[in-house]
A and B are shown apart, each in its own frame.
Chain A
């Protein structure tokens, strides 16, 4: 694909300057992400504090993980029926919370952290009547972590999981999705998401692939990530469809590979030759590099989604042979292939429709049964596959949703949004396996032990990637302490 630079060089290009330019724009794209490169060239600003440096693509300290897989269940997963079983709910089923020994959970002082977006909304309310567990639970693995019967496959990976049962957030509506990703309540505005920060801070693992990819359903919340970091740090959305994985990913009108190749050579040659009239033009140099990556992406992205070379056992492992698990299974398999090829951050959102498929205001049992059926096996497949390929140590997997669901019932058979205590788990990337961190009270209402706001998850991930979020700040964009969060060191291997 390299143009015949000798040939051009032999014409009217003679200055040393020209040679330097050509070599600078050649194939040696080094290991820096385009984003990081552009950040270096472009994000600096007049009058910036003298101690501020835009990121150079290198971690700030030795990293434990290279890639992040961010699994997000849209709508809100019931903690009690998944990773934080609460038998007291069954024991006191039908009782009003005030009639139980746990009446104090509704002490108004304790409910204060809620920051209401939609006042008097039908959802996001206190639900007083305790609703019994809709599924059984058991101990999994040697570690014996208790999880529900809806997650037998994830359960079989228990000894690789660190379950955090003490999360809280503040938006009692689905703006909490944005909040979980950016760390800020929607009433504060829009802020870069974690993936964008990682993309902004770290260089590329593979010069042929975008470094921040999103898959799945993201209709409900804003599809941008970069915000003030700029659209260069938005996730590149892909579809698990090798024929059409990217927007504008292939010519709208058929062009042969040879034609495309010649077209690419033509453009690159012309751009390089323009350096004659416009020497030392950093935008021109960046344009050439971007163009090269675009050309490579057209083949590298579809290639990474081609499952034909995967064995039947792998297909089975990810649930590709069952209709219920096939869709998410394909996304998980694509995820592994992308991680394997060197993609930094992969964000997969599960659950289409409304504010997210998991939003079980009614019919919780049927809802969660179906949704867990769709994701349980594929996620376990991913964890096991990463492990057997030796990738789990360097890949941090996170399972989360914007909030949990109320201990009390909504309507006759649902649970409402619940922000005061819910669960997240992490695996791989230097996270300890088989541990439970933090706890909620007896009915899973409040996180009472080792409480963590959502940005603590961010901080934990950044730490494993070797990044200090305070060094990523952009002058003029003040971040608060809570935006940075605190790493959950207790769940990290030393």
Chain B
């Protein structure tokens, strides 16, 4: 469930807007509210939802606007839209009620309902009375989110933290009384889970309780922000927003995302831990290949683009790239402009394809790492500009089978959000970027591979020699059959030995060839004199041919052995193989006579197929020496101080995760259809603060976490009754919001409390089905097709789209916590741990300790009694209620119960 604001919230809003409306009417005096009721209630909303998009502030098709009665009377190209007092002669009625689809308005979607048409007619017949001072729709360019944020002045009140100052302003405005602070232990649990995703340890709880100094909370926040687990916890948040996914496809075929995406995950975690600016992070995600083409660590960031990979349809691939780059980084829903101009925002269909042009040239390749030459085992999935000249066409009605090839679109960002020309500077790449085989570790990796193969081959050769000696050691016999068998054995062993020798020779030559190829490649891309280069190239070519010859000799040896072993049935086929191998050998020998200049350059990267149609040959094409610079231009535009969206969208996401609810509810849509901010000053202040502090995310966390607002209880208890009436859904944060733990946190908390958590960071993912692993949950393989079952029960991130995690409450969650082997094992460990701390504890003391440890809250008297009674009942199931086993069962039962407690999986 993505949308968490409840209905009641809506009613509150509705009431509010009705109140404002009524006030407005009252102010304009004289007019009776009900005279305009009909227009305002039954006519204007219909026009607004169905007509304004083309006949309003955004667009004025046929020069007609329908957003005021005056403009309707004024009309457009075909005359007045309405006739007051006469529906039957009003053009509007004629068009909305038209029978023919071709002349009916609105042109898209379903016709207006009969009741809506009747309402419009009634209003017209009654004189089409306009409300006084009716205002046209505002110019969409003035929409709050399209105007760059300016740091708002701090309200004059006493709050030390600007956040509290802005919130207090709203409390005063709405007559809300903020709640008191949460218990200190609850605050500690909250901030620990929030920042590192793990509950406080018993020592941390104890120390915090004892520390009464004013900086106690600040020190906790610093400790947590400096913990490497901060990056793991917040990395997972940003991975949600950036749609992290491991690859998926059919069987072994990669169809979506890419292999080895974990490099990108590790980059996210590390960047957060070192507090890379958010601006730097976005830049690297979009354009590390242009900005840092030789920095493999930063290139990991382009996993963001690699994740968008879709093998079967380039348009779908780019559509998703555009949709989710826009939603995640700009808070704009671009996707509807694919087929037609945006109905709500000033973005045209051409804008969409201009943005597509920014991404058009990019493709994905796997970049070799020092780990080795096998791209299946390890590599870094990364973007690069591949098809520099590929044009981008507008697809008529969004149909990729119908491109308008008369004009190709220039790469650009939407006109409305351009404050200066969108300038693009092509990037000349360093040689290692377009010829990754030149990287030192690549040669090293190939050599290592060949050396280990050589060693294997040599070992085989010496074994084969032993076998041969053994065969030859068998004494000749009197028996003819035995002798024949002896001879065959010797022949086979000889054959095996020859193969092994040839194979060793092959790998030796391979090593030699590797060195020569690299020397030639380096010379080619360096400033080598022509003569010297020619010599190196020739040497490499000869070396390659010698290698080919060795391979051919090995081939002949293999074929001959096979032929030796053949049965009458396979004889013919194997003899043909021998003949073919010999022909190949002759050819290889002949080629040695005229070595030429052809050799195999060493590959340092492997391109992922552009589509299921791309040939192997095309995949091996040389990489371009320049990159278009389009994505760099996009990134720079995004992080420009004048961009009105980027920083606001980021702080809104951060706020949402700290407080359980965003300031702008539609986190991926800040456009005109999106929700208004509940506190724009607060949002803008935070956005400016982010930009003016090197886009430091930790800086924003610090401010938020040191606020009074963050300290408040999430309870309604003892709240001013007015609060519940005025703002029952806590829109204005007069208390904290309780947050359901995310899936990862549920599992990690259980492991941590049990003392079982393995804190090893980073590296390749764990299999999704691994129940034994004790590592943190973000390391599980997570794709559309494969996800950890336990995590799935708790609204795990949807890899297709996850701007906010769901917080569903379903029975499967109870089953998972009650019955899964992981939960049961952790319950056992937690019980053991708590028992170890005080083996002789009475039930009531054990219960108290367990309650505090798991929920960070003191049990009430009745809770304590209930726990004690329950433990007593569990004891009584045993034969002897005071036995050690009965005590153990009671404790296990209690801990199991606490793990299933609502407040265990809730951040209070």
A positions within 8 Å CB-CB of B: 8, 11-13, 34-35, 38-50, 53-54, 117-121, 187, 189-190, 210, 222, 227-232, 236, 246-253, 256, 258-259, 262-263, 265-267, 269-271, 273-274, 276-284, 286-288, 290-291, 293-295, 297-298, 474, 476, 478, 481
User: For the complex, is B578 an interface residue (Cβ under 8 Å from A)?
Assistant: no
Chain A residue, CB-CB nearest to B851: A270
User: For the complex, is B903 an interface residue (Cβ under 8 Å from A)?
Assistant: yes
User: For the complex, is B440 an interface residue (Cβ under 8 Å from A)?
Assistant: no
Of A230, A273, A294, which contacts B2 at CB under 8 A? Answer: A230
Q: Are B811 and A297 in contact (CB under 8 A)?
A: yes
Q: Are B5 and A12 in contact (CB under 8 A)?
A: no
- Say how far A21's CB is from chain B's closest CB, in angstroms: 12
Contact flag A277-B860 (CB < 8 Å), given A258-B877, A266-B897, A284-B902: yes
Of B715, B716, B808, B893, which contacts A259 at CB under 8 A? Answer: B893
Of B10, B109, B815, B865, which contacts A298 at CB under 8 A? Answer: B815
Of B611, B809, B861, which contacts A119 at CB under 8 A? Answer: B611
Binary A-proximity of B305-348 (CB < 8 A = 1, otherwise 0): 00000001101100000000000000000001000000000000
Give CA–CA (A153, B674) in the complex, Å: 55
Q: Are A259 and B902 in contact (CB under 8 A)?
A: no
Give CA–CA (A47, B669) in the complex, Å: 12
Q: Are A42 and B1 in contact (CB under 8 A)?
A: yes
B positions within 8 Å CB-CB of A: 1-10, 13-14, 45, 49, 109-110, 312-313, 315-316, 336, 611-613, 665-666, 669, 673-676, 714-717, 724, 738, 740, 784-785, 789, 792-793, 795, 798, 800-801, 806-816, 818-821, 824, 857, 860-863, 865-867, 870, 873-874, 877, 889, 893-894, 896-898, 900-903, 906, 908
Q: Are A481 and B110 in contact (CB under 8 A)?
A: yes
Give CA–CA (A480, B643) in the complex, Å: 33
Give CA–CA (A222, B787) in the complex, Å: 12
* Chain B neighbourhood of A252, CB < 8 A: 819-821, 824
* Chain B neighbourhood of A287, CB < 8 A: 809, 902
* Chain A neighbourhood of B807, CB < 8 A: 42, 283
Chain B residue, CB-CB nearest to A478: B336
- Say how far B872's CB is from chain A's closest CB, in angstroms: 10
- Say how far B687's CB is from chain A's closest CB, in angstroms: 20
Q: Are A291 and B821 in contact (CB under 8 A)?
A: no
Q: Are B863 and A248 in contact (CB under 8 A)?
A: no
Of A35, A44, A249, A259, which contacts B815 at CB under 8 A? Answer: A249
Q: Are B902 and A262 in contact (CB under 8 A)?
A: no
* Chain A neighbourhood of B867, CB < 8 A: 266, 270
Contact flag A262-B873 (CB < 8 Å), given A44-B5, A46-B10, A47-B674: yes
Q: Are A283 and B740 in contact (CB under 8 A)?
A: yes
Q: A39-B1, A259-B893 are in contact. List 4 more A-B contacts (CB 8 A).
A: A11-B862, A44-B9, A49-B49, A294-B815
6 residue pairs, one from A and one from B, having the closest CB atoms: A44-B7, A294-B814, A294-B811, A230-B1, A252-B821, A45-B3
Pull 12 A–B residue pairs with CB atoms less than 8 Å apart, ordered by A.
Answer: A34-B809, A44-B5, A231-B806, A248-B816, A251-B818, A252-B819, A252-B824, A258-B877, A271-B902, A286-B809, A290-B811, A291-B811
* Chain B neighbourhood of A35, CB < 8 A: 810
Contact flag A11-B861 (CB < 8 Å), given A271-B901, A287-B902, A291-B814: yes
Of B1, B793, B908, which contacts A248 at CB under 8 A? Answer: B793
- Say how far A294's CB is from chain B's closest CB, in angstroms: 4
Q: Are A8 and B874 in contact (CB under 8 A)?
A: no
Give CA–CA (A213, B313) in the complex, Å: 33
Q: Are B815 and A281 in contact (CB under 8 A)?
A: no
* Chain A neighbourhood of B336, CB < 8 A: 478
Give CA–CA (A478, B342) in the complex, Å: 13
Of B714, B717, B801, B814, which contacts A295 at CB under 8 A? Answer: B814
* Chain A neighbourhood of B860, CB < 8 A: 12, 273, 276-277
Q: Are B784 and A290 in contact (CB under 8 A)?
A: no
Q: Are B863 and A273 in contact (CB under 8 A)?
A: yes
Chain A residue, CB-CB nearest to B662: A46
- Say how far A70's CB is from chain B's closest CB, in angstroms: 21
Q: Are B14 and A283 in contact (CB under 8 A)?
A: no
Q: Are A476 and B5 in contact (CB under 8 A)?
A: no
Chain B residue, CB-CB nearest to A474: B3
Give CA–CA (A256, B7) in the complex, Å: 42
- Say how far B729's CB is from chain A's closest CB, in angstroms: 9
Of B109, B740, B801, B877, which contacts A262 at CB under 8 A? Answer: B877
Chain A residue, CB-CB nearest to B669: A476
Q: Are A232 and B819 in contact (CB under 8 A)?
A: no
Q: Are A259 and B1 in contact (CB under 8 A)?
A: no
- Say how far B399's CB is from chain A's closest CB, in angstroms: 10
Give CA–CA (A283, B738) in the complex, Å: 9
* Chain A neighbourhood of B715, CB < 8 A: 277-279, 281
Q: Are A270 and B312 in contact (CB under 8 A)?
A: no
Contact flag A42-B818 (CB < 8 Å), given A47-B675, A266-B870, A278-B716: no
Chain A residue, CB-CB nearest to B903: A274
Give CA–CA (A274, B900) in the complex, Å: 13
* Chain A neighbourhood of B5, CB < 8 A: 44-46
Give CA–CA (A288, B814) in the complex, Å: 10
* Chain A neighbourhood of B815, CB < 8 A: 246-249, 294, 297-298
Contact flag A46-B665 (CB < 8 Å), given A266-B867, A273-B862: yes
* Chain B neighbourhood of A34, CB < 8 A: 809-811
* Chain B neighbourhood of A41, CB < 8 A: 6-7
Interface centre among A187, A246, A271, A291 (most CB of B within 10 A): A291
Give CA–CA (A483, B712) in the complex, Å: 46
Chain A residue, CB-CB nearest to B737: A283
Give CA–CA (A227, B818) in the complex, Å: 26
Give CA–CA (A282, B740) in the complex, Å: 12
Q: Are B818 and A266 in contact (CB under 8 A)?
A: no
Chain B residue, CB-CB nearest to A11: B862
* Chain A neighbourhood of B801, CB < 8 A: 228
Give CA–CA (A38, B812) in the complex, Å: 14
Chain B residue, CB-CB nearest to A210: B811
Q: Are A230 and B808 in contact (CB under 8 A)?
A: yes
Give CA–CA (A127, B671) in the complex, Å: 49
Give CA–CA (A290, B810) in the complex, Å: 5
Contact flag A48-B10 (CB < 8 Å), given A251-B819, A280-B716, A283-B738: yes
* Chain B neighbourhood of A119, CB < 8 A: 312, 611-613
Contact flag A281-B716 (CB < 8 Å), given A47-B666, A210-B811, A230-B795: yes
Give CA–CA (A298, B900) in the complex, Å: 16
Give CA–CA (A478, B336) in the complex, Å: 10
* Chain A neighbourhood of B613, CB < 8 A: 119-120
Q: Are A253 and B862 in contact (CB under 8 A)?
A: no
Q: Are B818 and A294 in contact (CB under 8 A)?
A: yes
Q: Are A117 and B2 in contact (CB under 8 A)?
A: no
Of A12, A49, A283, which contacts B809 at CB under 8 A? Answer: A283
Chain B residue, CB-CB nearest to A121: B612
* Chain B neighbourhood of A44, CB < 8 A: 3, 5-10
* Chain B neighbourhood of A293, CB < 8 A: 811
Give CA–CA (A42, B821) in the complex, Å: 31
- Say how far B340's CB is from chain A's closest CB, in angstroms: 12
Contact flag A248-B874 (CB < 8 Å), given A47-B666, A298-B815: no
Give CA–CA (A265, B313) in the complex, Å: 54
Q: Are A54 and B7 in contact (CB under 8 A)?
A: yes
* Chain B neighbourhood of A45, CB < 8 A: 3, 5, 10, 665, 675
Chain A residue, CB-CB nearest to B678: A46
Give CA–CA (A42, B675) in the complex, Å: 17
* Chain A neighbourhood of B814, CB < 8 A: 290-291, 294-295
Chain B residue, CB-CB nearest to A51: B45
* Chain B neighbourhood of A39, CB < 8 A: 1
Chain A residue, CB-CB nearest to B335: A189
Q: Are A278 and B717 in contact (CB under 8 A)?
A: yes
Give CA–CA (A11, B6) in the complex, Å: 33
* Chain A neighbourhood of B893, CB < 8 A: 259, 262-263, 266
* Chain B neighbourhood of A478, CB < 8 A: 336
Give CA–CA (A291, B897) in the complex, Å: 12
* Chain B neighbourhood of A273, CB < 8 A: 860, 862-863, 866
